[in-house]
Structures are given as structure tokens and as C-alpha cells.
Structure 1
Amino acid sequence: MNKEYIIYILESILIIFLLFRFIPKDKIREAHVAYLFKLVITWSVGLIVAQWKFIEYPVRFLSYATKANFLFEFFLYPSICTLFVVNYPEKKNKFNQFMYYFYYCTSLTIVEVVEERYTNILTYIHWTWYITWTTFFITFFLAQKYNKWFFSKITITKK
């Protein structure tokens, strides 16, 4: 087994642990909505990015089915976004909320850049780290706002 598959396994185990550890039972419904919303975004954008050859994924699961990284687009990234949305510091000031975005986007970008440089998990073709960071920021923003909107509509309906 090569190092890329070991990395995939370790990342999957880490995400599963984090989901069980940091998603409170009373927020499971929010987590599901965040996951599904993010899944729609990442799956469609991931397919476009791979098809238009902005990024290439030399080692991936389901390589005959799709050029995108199925594990990242279908499980890892939506799960990370779920953790982001469920634990979003809604009651903090704007600076702390921005720093929350900054930490998530920067951490994920660093992991991606390291994987791009030292493994065959992905290869940037017409892509850079700042596009990755910006994409993370925009998609986290959209997912967080969607969840806030979705659950504000539910609470209005209940009253």
C-alpha cells in the first residue's frame, strides 16, 4: 500500500473521530443539513475543477468513475464543513468570527499544499494555494449562511 492510501485512511479515521467528538447530539440535524449543502457545492465544483484540468488527482478512489477526488469531495471536505458550521462562534464578535474562518481555511490550505508537494494525492495544474484558500472561505461562508437561514425558517414556522 502506498503512502497516498495510508494518508487517505488516516484522514478518514481522523474525520470520523472529530465528527463523533465535536458534533453535539442536539446539533445532529444541523450537521446533516450542513453536510448535504456542502456536498452539493463540493461535488459539482470538484467535478468541474477536475474536468477542466485545474487540478489533477493521480491517486484516488473510483478512478474509472470520476476524475475528481471522490473521498475528498464526498466525505472529507463536507465533514470538515459540518464541523465548521456546527461549531461556528455565532455569538462572538466579527473579528473572532473572521479568525474562525481564517484558521479553518489556512489549516486546510496548508494540508493541501503539503499533499500537493510531497504526494500524488493532487497536482496543481492551473491552480494555486490562494485559489484554494479563497474557495474554502467562500464555500464555508455559503454553508454557514445557508444553515443559519435554513434553521431560522424552521424556528419561525414552529412559533
Structure 2
Amino acid sequence: MAKEQSVLLLMWIASVLLLCMIGRRRVRATVFLILIFQSMTWLISLMLSSLSLFEFPVRELPRATSINFTFEFILFPAYSVWFHYTYPERRSTVRQIGHYALFATIFVAFYSFVAQFTSLVKFHASPFWLYLTFPVALYITRRVFLWFVREEPGKSLAGLSEKRL
């Protein structure tokens, strides 16, 4: 149990460090991205855990929900923010798809590593489900965010790194 507690603490520290690297100028955009992604991961994780594709034996709030709070509400939204701020906006489609593939691979590798060496998550199906759901959640989050930050009709946001964010 102490190993799991240590891993959860490290995830909190990593998330806070990721979010601290964003900068003051982007606080509103960051909070909005976090809220969008939290709602997406909450719904997807509840659905996948109710289908018994995976479970979380060690949870912070065992009476409240069947999913892990740190994963779904802290770490993955922070990871999503990092994805969006490093997205290659004005690059080729191949590079953009590669960006999705890279972040999804890191995500699934981390999840699999945690599942193998701790009791925080147990897979009852292939981690392939994560390859399907995570990039879709990133894509939907990106589309919703770009839709909300669009200032004038006909103008698109050149990238999340602009000064006005």
C-alpha cells in the first residue's frame, strides 16, 4: 500500500510541475482545458470501468466512485494541457497525427507500467481501448477549446502559444 501512495504522490507532484510550467499568461486557457478534459475522462473512465475493462483497486475516494481521482482529475488533464500547448498547429497533417500517436503511446505505456508494478489499476482487457479513447478525448477537447476561444467568425486560432491566451 505504501508503494501505491508514493506513486500517487509522485503523480500529484508531476501534475503540479507540468501546470506550473504553463505560465501565468495562459491560466484561463489552462483551466478551461482541464475542465473539458476532466469531464471527458470522467465519462469515458466510468463507462470503461462499468464495462469491466479495467478497475482501480486502490482509490482515494472508494465510496464516491469506481475510478481513481488522481489519474482522471489531476494527472491526465495536466498531460492533456501539455499535449495542447505542444501541438504542432501549423505543421503537416502527418506531424499532427504523429503528435497524437506519440502522446497516446506515452499515455498507454505509463498506464501499463503502473498496472504491472502497482495495484492502482488492473486491466481486464487489452490496453488497446486506451489507444482508442485517449486520442479521441484529446481531439474532442481540442475542437471544443478552439471553438470556444475563437474570437471572430472566419478567424482561426493560430496556436495556443499566442500572447492573447
Aligned to 1:28: 27
Call closer, same or farther: CA 1:24–1:87 in 2, change over 3 Å: farther
1-structure distance, mates of 2:31, 2:72: 16
Report deviation, 1:145.
Answer: 1.4
Q: Secondary structure at the match of 1:10?
A: helix
- 2:18 and 2:78 in contact (8 A); partners too: no
Deviation per CA, 1:91-118: give whole Å up to 9, x if none.
Answer: 1221221121111110010011111122
Specify every segment of 5 or more residues in structure 1 that has no aligned partner in the other structure, as ranges. none
1-structure distance, mates of 2:110, 2:3: 15
Q: Secondary structure at the match of 2:152?
A: helix
Aligned to 1:12: 12
2-structure distance, mates of 1:17, 1:88: 19
Deviation per CA, 1:109-141: give whole Å up to 9, x if none.
Answer: 00111111221111111x312111221111111
Aligned-residue RMSD, C-alpha: 1.7
Q: 1:156 aligns with which of 147, 152, 158?
A: 152
Aligned to 1:3: 3
2-structure distance, mates of 1:130, 1:50: 14
Aligned to 1:78: 77
Q: How high is the TM-score relative to the length of structure 2?
A: 0.86
Matched length: 154
Report deviation, 1:73.
Answer: 1.1
Aligned to 1:120: 119
2-structure distance, mates of 1:111, 1:87: 19
4+ residue stretches of structure 1 with deviation over 4 A?
A: none
Deviation per CA, 1:5-49: give whole Å up to 9, x if none.
Answer: 11111111011111111x133222221211111111111222222
Q: Percent sequence identity over matched residues?
A: 26
Report deviation, 1:143.
Answer: 0.8
Aligned pairs for 1:51-90 (under 5 A) are 51-90=50-89
Of Structure 1 and Structure 2, the greater helix share is in 1
Specify every segment of 5 or more residues in structure 2 that has no aligned partner in the other structure, as ranges. 156-165
- 1:81 and 1:140 in contact (8 A); partners too: yes
Aligned to 2:142: 144
Report deviation, 1:50.
Answer: 2.1
